[in-house]
Amino acid sequence: MKALVIDDSKAMRSILKRILKDLGFEVFEAANGQEGLERLAKVGAPDLALVDWNMPEMNGLEFVRAVRSDPAYNNLRLMMVTTETETERVAAALEAGANEYIMKPFPKDALIEKLAMLGIIES
Give the tens place of pLDDT for each residue, 69-84: 999 999 999 999 989 8
* DSSP assignment letter at 6: E
Residue 8 phi/psi, 5° resolution?
-75, -10
Domains detected in the chain: 2-117 (3.40.50.2300)
Separation CA 73–CA 104 (nearest Å): 26
Reported as a single tens digit per residue, the pLDDT across 38-63 is 999 998 999 999 999 999 999 999 99
**Angle at the Cα of 58 from the Cα atoms of 100 and 67, rounded to 5 degrees:** 50
**Angle at the Cα of 25 from the Cα atoms of 53 and 74, rounded to 5 degrees:** 60
